[in-house]
């Protein structure tokens, strides 16, 4: 075993959009920065983002304003989002997107050169900027160029398995290289977790299998942070259903944004029964439940999905606006979506809950530790609007980067970590051995349990039996068998992480005895106004709740009332 040490001001764990934006901000604030990530540089989960990024620029609809962006986001969060987090996002989104365009991001433009904007579900106006249907890839490319220009090192293939906490403060992290087995202790003045969500714990999901197990969430919990609203997970209404090995892969919301229509097996445009005003451009939670219900009640297609039809746009428009979708169906199913409908079903897509953070800087409860992007909580509440997470990673990546740089270069930013390093290395040895549970098997079983009993529709009995089974799985997996090399140790770490984040999710789901946004309880089918509260999982495993913070006084008029819904003609124009 080769143990190395490295020292920097700001250590950023995760090389997705949030991590890269944080790194640029920390460096521009004068700090030494190191980014480490599990995958190859430039290939983090953010590259998958397709449809777009929101900012109230008013290109197409000059009446749009940041207050309306706040209102749409906060109301559609079912009043569980942190109002100040939403305010910051909406206010700072225009500058964040324009800055990215200045840095060379090739967003689509109107004929007069302004950034074009399209509709995304439940936004009052067209405010989603896009780069074809590869917006995330283009954002990553742009941030990557900026990172290289500033000489910021990005270390690939570093799987962080423990944070270094000593004297109550975060002093760095310890990682494993899944190729060589080398372990490295990264000492730092401050650490930012930018590790993404935890949707890989569901059987059908839009992630890749070696990320999105809730790595940062589990690391933060072990370090003494709280996790907030872990039960609030967005199931995207439209994932591919075949072939089985790629089932769950996203069919972007841009298909519905461009006029895609949903039909059941009888040819009925069923959204008329679920949301006649907004139809297919209703919020994701409503469309996901509608799709789930049609399938569960036997009105699905041959592969267990409903049908999404965009063929009326014609091939030229589809190839221009949705090129990735056109290729995706052609290559995986041999299906030409300009001629035939796609078969789709809900898929686990986004973690709306996550690490509890302070709104302005995204500092956690542990001094020196910050979190930004999908691993953090506060922006989306019970329902995330499409396009809001790419702006989240820019706005709060920058803020966390600046705050982490200030902390690292202050007197609070240094301390010892020898004891914590010893403990971290010991914990890895204790988790793995030459005999024990198969990590792959544990992951497969966990995904099945979560899909069947903590998925789109939940109830108390199912959740409690899921918790019992996950805990039994955890006991059985006290030691993971890792014969065959360090890549298997990495898989064992993912499996352990998934067990931790799944347990936290189920515990919160049991406590939220209501239906709100993406959290559908068949035994409590309505919103309970007394549960307009956030749930927190503590390190002990206990779940406590607290009231949603007050809306800033200047925004109370925007925050109240039902979401403002323009009629379908307006949306589909």
User: Percent helix, strand, coil in the chain (nearest 5)?
Assistant: 40, 20, 40
Q: How far is the CB of 86 from ligand FAD (least distance, A)?
A: 14
With CB under 6 A as the contact rule, the residue among 50, 152, 203, 403 that binds ligand FAD is 50
* Pick from 165, 83, 90, 140: nearest CA to 424: 165
d(CA 225, CA 27): 26
With CB under 6 A as the contact rule, the residue among 12, 14, 138, 234 that binds ligand FAD is 14
Specify the stretch interacting with ligand FAD by CB under 6 A; choose among 51-59, 427-435, 545-553, 554-562: 51-59
127: helix, strand or coil: coil
With CB under 6 A as the contact rule, the residue among 72, 92, 215, 275 that binds ligand FAD is 215
Question: 341: number of CA atoms within 13 Å, CB side?
Answer: 20
Name which of residues 271 to 300 contact ligand FAD (CB under 6 A): none
Specify the stretch interacting with ligand FAD by CB under 6 A; choose among 87-95, 297-305, 382-390, 533-541: 382-390
Rg (CA), the chain: 22
With CB under 6 A as the contact rule, the residue among 159, 171, 284, 503 that binds ligand FAD is 159
d(CA 156, CA 175): 11
- Give 280-317 as a 3 state SS string: HHCCHHHHHHHHHHHHHCCCCCCCCCEEEECHHHCHHH
Identify which of residues 271 and 352 has a Cβ nearer to ligand FAD in the complex.
352
- Is residue 474 involved in binding ligand FAD (CB under 6 A)? no
- Is residue 443 involved in binding ligand FAD (CB under 6 A)? no
Binding mask 304-343 for ligand FAD (x = CB under 6 A): ----------------------------------------
With CB under 6 A as the contact rule, the residue among 9, 32, 374, 514 that binds ligand FAD is 374
With CB under 6 A as the contact rule, the residue among 42, 51, 237, 455 that binds ligand FAD is 51
d(CA 75, CA 559): 6
d(CA 307, CA 241): 11
Identify which of residues 39 and 123 has a Cβ nearer to ligand FAD in the complex.
39
d(CA 553, CA 521): 33
- Is residue 52 involved in binding ligand FAD (CB under 6 A)? yes
The string over 54-89, giving b where at least 16 C-beta atoms fall within 10 Å of a residue's C-beta and e elsewhere, is bbbbbbbbeebbbbbbbbbbbbbbbbbbbbbbbbbb
With CB under 6 A as the contact rule, the residue among 10, 393, 467, 508 that binds ligand FAD is 393
Given 126, 236, 453, 512, which residue is catalytic? 236
- Is residue 89 involved in binding ligand FAD (CB under 6 A)? no
- Is residue 195 involved in binding ligand FAD (CB under 6 A)? yes
Identify which of residues 232 and 543 has a Cβ nearer to ligand FAD in the complex.
232
DSSP string, 422-489: HHHHHHHHHHEESSSB-HHHHHHHHHHHHHHHSSSEE-HHHHHHHHHHHHHHHHHTSSEE-TT-HHHH
- Please state whether beta strands 169-176 and 159-166 pair in parallel, antiparallel, or not at all (unpaired): antiparallel
Q: Which residues contact 455 (CB under 8 A, 6 or more apart)?
A: 202, 235, 346, 348
Name which of residues 508 to 567 contact ligand FAD (CB under 6 A): none
* Pick from 474, 472, 479: nearest CA to 431: 479
- Please state whether beta strands 233-240 and 457-458 pair in parallel, antiparallel, or not at all (unpaired): unpaired
**Dihedral angle at the C-alpha atoms of 42, 45, 50, 53, nearest 10 degrees?**
-90
Binding mask 109-138 for ligand FAD (x = CB under 6 A): --------------------------xx--
Name which of residues 62 to 81 contact ligand FAD (CB under 6 A): none
Specify the stretch interacting with ligand FAD by CB under 6 A; choose among 76-84, 203-211, 265-273, 313-321: 203-211
- Is residue 38 involved in binding ligand FAD (CB under 6 A)? yes
416 is catalytic: no
- Is residue 42 involved in binding ligand FAD (CB under 6 A)? no
- Give 364-395 as a 3 state SS string: CCCCCEEECHHHECCCCCCCCCCCHHHHHHHH
d(CA 256, CA 507): 34
Identify which of residues 11 and 442 has a Cβ nearer to ligand FAD in the complex.
11
Q: How far is the CB of 477 from ligand FAD (least distance, A)?
A: 18
Identify which of residues 12 and 510 has a Cβ nearer to ligand FAD in the complex.
12
- Is residue 198 involved in binding ligand FAD (CB under 6 A)? no
256 is catalytic: yes
d(CA 185, CA 288): 43
d(CA 472, CA 4): 36
- Is residue 37 involved in binding ligand FAD (CB under 6 A)? yes
Count of residues in contact with ligand FAD, rule CB under 6 A = 42
Specify the stretch interacting with ligand FAD by CB under 6 A; choose among 24-32, 283-291, 387-395, 561-569: 387-395
Given 256, 284, 447, 503, which residue is catalytic? 256
Question: 174: number of CA atoms within 13 Å, CB side?
Answer: 24
- Is residue 445 involved in binding ligand FAD (CB under 6 A)? no
d(CA 445, CA 278): 38
- Is residue 200 involved in binding ligand FAD (CB under 6 A)? no
d(CA 122, CA 521): 23
Name which of residues 234 to 253 contact ligand FAD (CB under 6 A): 250
With CB under 6 A as the contact rule, the residue among 353, 387, 415, 517 that binds ligand FAD is 387
With CB under 6 A as the contact rule, the residue among 9, 16, 35, 488 that binds ligand FAD is 16
Q: How far is the CB of 375 from ligand FAD (least distance, A)?
A: 6
Identify which of residues 234 and 515 has a Cβ nearer to ligand FAD in the complex.
234
Q: Answer yes or no: are the C-beta atoms of 299 and 293 closer than 8 Å.
A: no
Specify the stretch interacting with ligand FAD by CB under 6 A; choose among 55-63, 207-215, 282-290, 540-548: 207-215
Enzyme catalytic residues: 236, 256
Footprint of ligand FAD on this chain (CB under 6 A)?
Answer: 13-19, 36-39, 44-46, 48-53, 135-136, 158-160, 194-196, 206-207, 211, 215, 250, 350, 373-374, 386-390, 393
């Amino acid at each position: 075993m080769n143990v190395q040490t490295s020292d920097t001001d700001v250590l950023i764990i995760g090389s997705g959009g949030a991590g890269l934006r944080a790194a640029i901000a920390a460096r521009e604030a004068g700090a030494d920065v190191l980014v480490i990530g599990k995958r190859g540089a430039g290939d983090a989960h953010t590259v998958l983002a397709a449809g777009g990024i929101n900012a109230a620029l008013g290109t197409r609809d000059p009446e749009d304003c940041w207050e309306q962006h706040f209102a749409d986001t906060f109301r559609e969060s079912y009043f569980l989002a942190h109002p100040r987090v939403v305010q910051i996002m909406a206010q700072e989104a225009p500058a964040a997107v324009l800055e990215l365009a200045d840095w060379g991001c090739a967003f689509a433009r109107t004929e007069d050169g302004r950034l074009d904007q399209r509709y995304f579900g439940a936004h009052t106006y067209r405010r989603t900027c896009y780069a074809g249907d590869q917006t995330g890839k283009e954002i990553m490319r742009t941030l990557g160029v900026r990172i290289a220009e500033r000489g910021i090192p990005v270390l690939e293939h570093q799987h962080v398995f423990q944070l270094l906490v000593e004297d109550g403060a975060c002093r760095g992290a310890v990682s494993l290289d899944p190729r060589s087995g080398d372990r490295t202790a990264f000492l730092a003045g401050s650490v930012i977790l930018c590790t993404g969500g935890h949707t890989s714990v569901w059987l059908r999901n839009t992630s890749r299998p070696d990320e999105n197990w809730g790595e940062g969430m589990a690391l933060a919990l072990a370090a003494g942070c709280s996790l907030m609203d872990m039960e609030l997970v967005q199931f995207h209404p439209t994932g591919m259903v075949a072939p089985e090995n790629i089932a769950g892969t996203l069919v972007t919301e841009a298909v519905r944004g461009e006029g895609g229509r949903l039909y059941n097996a009888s040819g009925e445009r069923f959204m008329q029964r679920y949301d006649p005003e907004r139809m297919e451009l209703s919020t994701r939670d409503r469309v996901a439940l509608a799709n789930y219900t049609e399938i569960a009640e036997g009105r699905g297609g041959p592969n267990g999905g409903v049908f999404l039809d965009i063929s009326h746009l014609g091939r030229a428009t589809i190839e221009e606006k949705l090129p990735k979708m056109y290729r995706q169906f052609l290559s995986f199913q041999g299906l030409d979506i300009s001629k035939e409908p796609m078969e789709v079903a809900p898929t686990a897509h986004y973690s709306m809950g996550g690490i509890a953070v302070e709104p302005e800087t995204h500092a956690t409860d542990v001094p020196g530790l910050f979190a930004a992007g999908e691993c953090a909580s506060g922006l989306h509440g019970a329902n995330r609007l499409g396009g809001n997470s790419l702006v989240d990673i820019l706005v709060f990546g920058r803020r966390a980067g600046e705050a982490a740089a200030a902390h690292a270069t202050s007197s609070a930013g240094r301390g010892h970590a020898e004891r914590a390093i010893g403990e971290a290395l010991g914990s890895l040895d204790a988790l793995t051995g030459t005999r024990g549970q198969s990590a792959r098997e544990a992951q497969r079983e966990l995904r099945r349990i979560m899909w069947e009993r903590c998925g789109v529709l939940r109830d108390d009995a199912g959740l409690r039996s899921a918790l019992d089974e996950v805990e039994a799985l955890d006991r059985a997996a006290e030691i993971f068998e890792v014969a065959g090399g360090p890549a298997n140790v990495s898989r064992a770490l993912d499996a352990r992480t998934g067990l931790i984040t799944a347990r936290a999710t189920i515990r919160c789901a049991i406590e939220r005895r209501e239906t709100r946004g993406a959290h559908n309880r068949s035994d409590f089918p309505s919103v309970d106004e007394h549960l307009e509260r956030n749930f927190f999982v503590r390190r002990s495993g206990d779940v406590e709740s607290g009231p949603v913070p007050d809306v800033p006084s200047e925004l109370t008029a925007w925050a109240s009332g039902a979401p403002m819904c323009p009629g379908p003609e307006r949306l589909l124009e």
